[in-house]
Structure 1
Amino acid sequence: MGDPAVWFPDDDVLARSRLGEFLRTTGCTDLAELDGAARTDPAWFWDAAASWLALDWQQEPERIVRELDAGPGTRWFPGGALNIADNAVDRWLRRGRAAEPALSWENEDGTSGCLSFAELAAEIDRVAAGLLDNGIGFGDRVGIQLPMVREAVVAMLACAKIGAIAVLLFSGFGESAVQQRLNACEAVAVISADGFARKGRIVELRGMLARVAEQVPSLRTIVLVGLGGPAQPKLAGEVDWASLGSTGRAVPSARCPSDHPLMIAYTSGTTGAPKGIMLGHAGFAIKAGTDAAWCFDIGVGDMSSWITDPGWIMSPITVLGGLVAGSAVAVYGGAVDYPDTGRVWRFARDAGVTMLGVSPTLVRTLAKGGPEAVPDDLGALRVFASSGEPWTPDAFEWLFDTVGGKRLPIINYSGGTEVSGAILSNTTMQPIVSCGFAGSVPGMAADVADEGGDSLRGAVGELVLRASSPGMPLGFWGDTARYAKTYWSSWPGVWLHGDFAEVDSAGVWYIRGRSDDTMNVAGKRIGPAEIEQVVGAHTEVSECAAFGVPDPIKGEAVVVVVVANTASPVTELAGRIAGMVRERLGAALAPRAVHIVAELPRTRSGKILRRVIRAVYLGDQPGDLSSLDNPEAIDMVAGLR
């Protein structure tokens, strides 16, 4: 048997479940039957899902799917037209919700507010009109580099409304990363800020944008949001956000064919240029909208929020998916632990958040403040969600026990940019096991495969998808062949996701890390997450990263880098940690070395960059560092060699 469940849905939770509501419309008796029916007939399933969302199509599709077995050539809802901005906001005006809350926000300086659906629609129209006035239109690529402020939400929706293609840029990107992405897609505009507040200081962007503009020949317009940065130097093509358009001017939603790109989200690995993943209006609306409803259990009357950056996919999944599902959304623009580690919990309480998304690393950061930083009253909060990396038991336990009082479910959610949402997830209809997933998200046809591509249970293998789904990419911008090679070339008709997964004897799923991080130690394949879960359970460990290094005898040996929460002598603590791994996982997997550092390289959303740690430790080129938030941590790792 597997690990015992820590949370069970009661009758009230089951009665309000949106997934349960959808299940009843299909005629299936339970989730297992629904999953089986979806695997047998994906066209039937996604037709039912789109109908259940009650989307407003500009033109009904000719059919649900074309060439279902064509892998990268599959096309969903061909002949149809749908604009996601229309369905996220204007649709709710037509449904009589004009006065209801739509977008709530809080900034680091304490300013906050809320827009109704009518007010949000008017602001989207103002910005959309201003973009059109500046010659930005259908099919143009527009970079968006903003912190998680309300303007980031409006910018995304305004671009979608006129059919421009948003290019997601992490707010912490430097000159090279921004220039590379804008050049790759020949962006004609970028929406950014003069600067933004972080931990009481202003991060200046204007000067960086001036240098970027000189290197991107296609760039004609730079729209700047005034967030407290410097007023100079004036940029070529600069337009003030506040001066865009005019209040009261209605902008019709551009007619967007189902396969019209909504966004380009660049993802990167250890080698090669970042991949420009194109996601479409219809596919993203249906996948992110159903995920928001079925996984996060949100809809009309809810307020959903994810503590992330607009440049990461969880922002549009939460914002656009949440709005499509009927929820209002809340955003927090600032450092999560400023002025103290209770900031996020107070924001969620004060904004009336009902679903709050976090990352495991963020939870470990906030846990440093202790239970006294958590308010006794979390207001309307009823669901946690998490993504970005595998949980460690200590972090999961702290969020579940200390913050949630063992009452609130944690929706462990894993998939990514490439599929517009989750592959594996918990739901509020099923028991939840610490660090695990209840199973494949309905419609995703997930499986674990061995080296021959056959189904595997009770052991670690590759996470694969046995069928296409609407949220999959339209392709890579400018490189269709690379898309097919990256995800569809291992086995015919099978999507290889790049994650290491396992299904235990009780049917609980686990992500064991990226498969390109997989270690092969003395013939045993093991993902870093399995080792990190053991190390993270040590009472003196705050966080950790495990990776493999070449070994002349074992092939690979395990190295662990740890951030400690005590002042114990380094050698003694390292020995205790190594002994714990040896005891739990066996002598073959005992770490060759355990190193103690002050911090680990991470993104601003809190994701630990394991590939970077390994590369720097081995003295190799670390690849793309554009998402790195704390470059000083690189020097710490390099000093371990």
Structure 2
Amino acid sequence: MKVNAGDCSRVSTIGRHSRSVEPHQFSRHGRNFMSAYQAEYQRSIEQPEAFWAEQAQRIPWFTPPERVLEHDEHGHARWYGDGILNTCHVAIDHHVENGRGEQPAIHWDSPVSQSRRTLTYRELRDEVARFAGALRDLGVEKGDRVVIYMPMVPEALVAMYACARLGAVHSVVFGGFAPHELAVRIDDAQPRVVVAASCGIEFERVVPYKPILDAALAQSTHRPDACVILQRPSLPAELGATDHDWADVAARAQPAPCVPVAATDPLYILYTSGTTGKPKGVVRDHGGHAVALHYSMERVYGMTPGEVFFSASDVGWVVGHSYIVYAPLIYGCTTLVYEGKPVRTPDAGAFWRLIETYRVNVFFTAPTAFRAIKKEDPDGRHLPQYDISSLRTLFLAGERLDPPTFYWLEGLLDVPVIDHWWQTETGWPIAANLQGLEPMPTKAGSATMPVPGYAVAVLDPHGEPAAPNEQGSVVIREPMPPGCLAGIWRDPQRFQRAYLSTFAGCYLTGDGGYFDEEGYLFIMGRTDDVINVAGHRLSTGEMEEVVGEHPAVAECAVIGIQDPIKGQVPIALVIPKDGYDGDDEALEAALSERVRERIGAIASLRQVLVVSRLPKTRSGKILRKLLRNIADGERYGVPSTIDHPASLQDVHETMVAREVGQASQARPAD
């Protein structure tokens, strides 16, 4: 529903959109006071230009901006319009020039290739400058695009920074994506050069990348001028007429300097899934991105320059872009790049080993990683083998941190376990428990409070502020802070239609949630995960909490399927913990009764399917929409982002065997 202009803009602070009193005027010892968090948050919302002008002074500019905040034709904020800088200079050269040259910039650890490597800031600068020279020799100039198709190796970061150094726009595609999906991205980005590795290495297999790239180029209409291939010893590739060996072109090249770019020039394009099936190319700019990430490292994560930050993600995802590649180095920290899995490389103690080896101070990963660990090591028997005393905080994001996993981690570790929430589009956290400003008591299931700069509101379908504990659409009022998406590549109308048209003056996150009476924000999942059972709107996220708390359940997903009488009814898919040898029917009955007791009979959870694994994206998100399509008998496609395609067929067969909905009529799309 589109609401009238001004409906969203009138909700200017958390207090006004979540309840009738200011939520951060906490009462302690019988008196009101303004907390450090509240003061900083309110200033960021009420005086955004002044607030973000101060933050901009903390990064090195070639020409500092005088015009701090402007708006495009859609009313979307653009930051630092007349500022000139270069992200590679901010993150690497500046630190070398100011005494960090011999500090490690990157630790690389690859149990799958049995390799380790450390690059200092000076060594990284030299490699980046030389590879930027190689790209320049191949014709890459400011504004050109370069598609990067690589695994988790240091050269992936070198390639990204080399593009930034030249003012070229990189678009990283997750290594191993299918040829068609890679071709779609090549056609949209229209790169001058593609940079790839000969292969990726996963648990018990080597994935050849060059044949995938060749097949993608055969399908695409755009033809890049050249491809640069990093030859990995595990599986070197045969090179074609327009292919170049990474080592050869780098050896011949002269180092390239940092090219000055406007703060609003694009740094990268990152494709995210869209409801139309065509990926959306999220565009990030240079200036706002650097300022926001610098601010987040201090305020959100509580880091100090020189410390070690470990994000167990992939450079193909936004977490990898922001918190493996850019933010740690922008802030003068050391980043840990991990080519491995949370389990089976070699075991469920992999993360603990990394924390001990590299003295990690802050660790960031997805809840799904720890659910995998909990499944294989429910009692945490691997942990005592390692000294993780350097670890100060554990952050989780990418999907909602379900309370059972939160409580398991809280009982296992002696550090704060922090859920925080953000999106590919925002590029950095929207809500978090700010460890560098004013850490607050945690609440299971909550991302705590909005981060300064984000005017978050929860609205009902009419655009009215939702009452405390009432679920609605989570939106962000303009101006969105620096670092958020500048638009959709080559499709401004789609940007307006997808994000800005539903509630006037607001960015639609697509997530549902609520504020509680203390102003804590709870994100319950995508708004299409709210189901309507006989006229009652119920959150599948809430049901997942209840199901996931059962001691036999390692992981679960609850989806709503069509029902001729009630409209929709929920079903649960559960993965039992390793070693579970109970009766599936008894487990189903127990879980149904738990939901009835905690949520009510209206929830109508009647079917529980025990499965060996759930279909997920490579970033760990459960493909709930796809599960609904199968259960409702609709044709479905196997997305390029799926981690294990066989998991989809397994679930489909289980649904058919259990006579779930119309699953027997579902068919994979051609």
- TM-score, length basis structure 2: 0.88
Corresponding residue number in structure 1 for 2:347: 340
For 1:440-455, list aligned pairs within 5 A.
Answer: 440-455=450-465
One-letter code of the match for 1:492?
A
Asked if the contact 1:63–1:78 (Cα under 8 Å) also holds between the matched residues in 2, the reply is: yes
Which whole-Å CA distance do the structure 2 matches of 1:159 and 1:597 have between them? 44
Structure 1 equivalent of residue 52 of structure 2: 46
Matches within 5 A, 1:366-405: 366-370=373-377, 371-374=380-383, 375-402=385-412, 404=413
Tell me how far apart the structure 1 counterparts of residues 447 and 260 of structure 2 sit (CA, whole Å).
38
- Deviation of 1:270 after TM superposition, in Å, equals 4.1
1:129 partner letter: G
Q: Is 1:411 the counterpart of 2:445 in the alignment?
A: no
Matched, 1:289 2:294: yes
1:544 alignment partner AA: C
> For residue 616 of structure 2, what is the aligned residue in structure 1?
602
Secondary structure at the aligned position of 2:216 is classed as: helix
| Map of 2:358 onto structure 1 | 351
Offset, 1:106: 0.4
Task: Give deviations 1:344-391, integer Å, cap 9, x for gaps.
Answer: 220222122111111111101112332112234114221111111111
User: What runs of 5+ residues in structure 2 fail to find an aligned partner?
Assistant: 1-33, 656-662, 664-670
- CA–CA separation in structure 2 for the residues paired with 1:622 and 1:386: 30
Q: Report the Cα distance in structure 1 between the residues aligned to 2:253 and 2:245, rounded to whole angstroms.
A: 18
Q: Is the 8 A contact 2:134 2:252 kept in 1?
A: no
Find the residue that maps to 2:429 and give its secondary structure. Answer: strand
Q: Measure, in 2, the Cα distance between the counterparts of 1:269 and 1:546.
A: 22
For 2:541 and 2:473, the matched residues in 1 are separated by: 14
Aligned partners of 2:314, 2:611: CA distance in 1, in Å?
Answer: 26
CA distance in 2, matches of 1:561, 1:596: 6
For the pair 1:458 / 2:463, whether they are aligned, the reply is no
Whether the aligned pair in 2 keeps the contact of 1:392 and 1:537 (CA below 8 Å) is no
Given that 2:281 and 2:488 are in contact with CA atoms closer than 8 Å, whether structure 1 keeps it comes out as yes
- What CA distance in whole angstroms lies between the structure 1 residues aligned with 2:432 and 2:552? 30
Q: What is the distance in 2 between the residues matched to 1:117 and 1:107?
A: 20
In the superposition, relative to structure 1, how do residues 237 and 254 fare at CA in structure 2: closer, same or farther (>3 Å)?
Answer: same
**Contact map agreement 1:611 1:622 (CA 8 A) in 2:** no
**Shift of the alpha carbon at 1:624?**
6.3
Matched, 1:472 2:481: no
1:244 aligns with 2:249: yes
Name the CA distance, whole Å, in 1 between partners of 2:170 and 2:636.
28
Aligned residues: 608
With over 3 angstroms needed to count, the CA separation of the structure-2 counterparts of 1:78 and 1:499, relative to structure 1, is: same
The residue number in structure 2 matching 1:159 is 163
- The one-letter code matched in structure 1 to 2:452 is P
Once the 2 structures are TM-superposed, how far is the Cα of residue 595 of structure 1 from its aligned partner? 1.0
Distance 2:255 2:191 in 1: 26
| CA distance in 2: counterparts of 1:491 and 1:508, whole angstroms | 22
**C-alpha distance in 1 between matches for 2:252 and 2:410:** 45
Tell me, yes or no, if the aligned pair for 1:130 and 1:244 is still in contact at 8 Å.
yes
Amino acid at match of 2:446: G
Match of 1:131 among 135, 150, 154: 135
| Partner in structure 2 of residue 77 of structure 1 | 80
For structure 1, list consecutive stretches of 5 or more residues without a partner in the other structure.
1-27
**Number of the residue aligned with 2:433:** 426
The one-character-per-residue Cα deviations of 1:261-300 (angstroms, maximum 9, x if unpaired) are 1111111144331111111111211222222221111131
> CA separation in 2, counterparts of 1:358 and 1:97?
27
**CA deviation after TM superposition for structure 1 residue 160, in Å:** 0.8
Rounded Cα–Cα distance in structure 2 between residues aligned with 1:113 and 1:230: 20
Whether the 8 Å contact between 1:261 and 1:278 is mirrored in structure 2 is yes
Which one-letter code corresponds to 2:585 in the other structure? T
Alignment match, 1:19: none
The match for 1:617 is 631
Percentage of matched positions with identical amino acids: 32
- Equivalents in 1 of 2:272, 2:634: separation in Å? 21
Maintained 8 Å contact 2:107/2:119: yes
Which deviates the most, 458-467 or 195-204? 195-204
Query: How big is each residue's C-alpha offset from its partner over 1:490-531, in whole Å with a ceiling of 9 and x where there is no partner?
Result: 122111110111111232211100112221223332332211
Task: Tell me the TM-score normalised to structure 1 length.
Answer: 0.91
Checking the alignment, whether the CA contact within 8 Å between 1:205 and 1:229 is kept in structure 2 is no
Q: In structure 2, give the amino acid aligned to 1:385.
A: F
Alignment check: 8 A CA contact 1:222 1:238 kept: yes
Q: What secondary structure, in the 3-state scheme, does the structure 2 residue paired with 1:416 have?
A: coil
What does residue range 558-637 of structure 1 map to in structure 2 within 5 Å?
558-565=570-577, 566-623=580-637, 625-637=639-651
User: In the alignment, what sits opposite 1:299?
Assistant: 304
Is 1:207–2:218 an aligned residue pair?
no
Q: Is the 8 A contact 1:617 1:637 kept in 2?
A: no
**Structure 1 counterpart of 2:121:** 117
Q: Give how far 1:575 is off.
A: 1.4
Q: Please, which of 322, 325, 329 is the counterpart of residue 328 of structure 2?
A: 322
- Residue among 179, 192, 196 paired with 1:175: 179
Shift of 1:166: 1.0
Question: Tell me, what secondary structure is at the counterpart of 2:630?
Answer: helix
Q: CA deviation at 1:459?
A: 1.0
SS of residue in 1 equivalent to 2:568: strand
> What is the CA distance between 1:628 and its match in structure 2?
0.3
CA-based RMSD of the aligned residues comes to 1.8
Cα distance, 1:113–1:623 mapped onto 2, change above 3 Å: same
Amino acid at match of 1:591: L
Contact 2:538 2:603 (C-alpha < 8 Å) held by counterparts: no
Deviation of 1:419 after TM superposition, in Å, equals 1.1
Q: Is the 8 A contact 2:353 2:386 kept in 1?
A: no
Q: Residue 258 in 1 paired to residue 269 in 2?
A: no
Q: After superposition, where does 1:539-558 map in structure 2 within 5 Å?
A: 539-558=551-570
Give the C-alpha shift of residue 243 in structure 1.
Answer: 2.2
Specify whether residues 102 and 488 from structure 1 end up closer, same or farther in structure 2 by C-alpha distance, changes over 3 A only. Answer: same
Could you tell me whether the CA contact under 8 Å between 2:511 and 2:524 is conserved in 1? yes
Distance in 1 (alpha carbons) for counterparts of 2:590 and 2:370: 24
Is 1:122–1:248's contact at 8 Å kept on the other side of the alignment? no
**Contact 2:474–2:508 at 8 Å: present in 1 too?**
yes
Aligned equivalents of 1:190 and 1:344: distance in 2?
32
Q: Secondary structure at the match of 1:561?
A: strand
CA distance in 2, matches of 1:448, 1:281: 30
The CA distance in 2 between the partners of 1:408 and 1:529, in whole Å, is 26
Is the CA contact 2:231–2:237 (under 8 Å) kept in the aligned structure 1?
A: no
Q: Does 1:534 align with 2:546?
A: yes
Pick which of 282-291 and 225-234 moved more: 225-234
Tell whether the 8 Å contact from 1:71 to 1:494 is kept in structure 2 after alignment.
no
Residues 59 and 80, structure 1, Cα contact 8 Å, conserved in 2: yes
- What residue is the counterpart of 2:227 in the other structure? 222
Contact 1:309 1:604 in 2 (8 A): no
Tell me, in whole angstroms, the C-alpha distance in 2 between the residues paired with 1:613 and 1:180: 25
Any idea what SS the aligned residue of 1:415 has? coil
**What secondary structure sits across from 2:523 in the alignment?**
strand
Checking the alignment, whether the CA contact within 8 Å between 1:203 and 1:229 is kept in structure 2 is no
For 2:404, the aligned partner's letter is D
Q: Deviations over 1:444-468 (max 9, x none)?
A: 1112111122222211111111122
Query: C-alpha offsets along residues 10-58 of structure 1, whole Å, 9 cap, x if unaligned?
Result: xxxxxxxxxxxxxxxxxx852112212222122122112222xx21112
Conserved? CA contact 2:133–2:253, under 8 Å: no
User: 2:137 and 2:586 mapped to 1: Cα distance?
Assistant: 66
Contact 2:420 2:447 in 1 (8 A): yes
Amino acid at match of 2:233: G
Q: Is the 8 A contact 1:222 1:235 kept in 2?
A: no
Relative to structure 1, is the Cα distance of residues 314 and 63 closer, same or farther in structure 2, using a 3 angstrom cutoff?
Answer: same
